[in-house]
Amino acid sequence: GEDVEQSLFLSVREGDSSVINCTYTDSSSTYLYWYKQEPGAGLQLLTYIFSNMDMKQDQRLTVLLNKKDKHLSLRIADTQTGDSAIYFCAEKFGNNNDMRFGAGTRLTVKP
């Protein structure tokens, strides 16, 4: 099937690192994305990675891409309570900007 898969829940302590994993489906996807959704709000782009890259770092965020295994991960260093949200992995498919989303990982950060 054509599913983007990610675990539904992750709980960490404030100050720890969080790692959210995702497997995607389309080996021809040019871009892969991480979106963040805070309670009662729409999704906002957190970061993205182009398919010819293995890693992308942006301040506390590190994205790793393993194209062979179709595996994408998001690492948040020094996780803060404000990072508590739902994180969606997504892949672009087709010729337009249609996205295929995972079910979302709910990150809970405990003080």
Partner 1 sequence: NAGVTQTPKFQVLKTGQSMTLQCAQDMNHEYMSWYRQDPGMGLRLIHYSVGAGITDQGEVPNGYNVSRSTTEDFPLRLLSAAPSQTSVYFCASSYSYSPLNTGELFFGEGSRLTVL
Question: Which positions touch partner 1 (CB under 8 A)?
Answer: 4, 8, 30-31, 33, 35, 40-45, 48, 50, 88, 92, 96-104
Q: Which is nearer to partner 1, 12 or 99 (CB)?
A: 99
24/73 Cα distance (integer angstroms) = 11
- Rounded least distance, CB 90 to partner 1, Å: 8
CB of 97 to partner 1, least distance (A): 5
Distance CA 14, CA 42 (A): 25
Q: For residue 78, give both structure tokens.
A: 């020094």
Whole-number Cα distances in Å, 95 to 42, 57, 100: 24, 27, 13
Task: Specify the residue, 14 or 48, whose C-beta has the smaller distance to partner 1.
Answer: 48
CA distance 80 to 103: 23
Q: What minimum distance in Å lies between the beta carbon of 96 and partner 1?
A: 6
Residue 83 or residue 102: which is nearer to partner 1 going by CB? 102
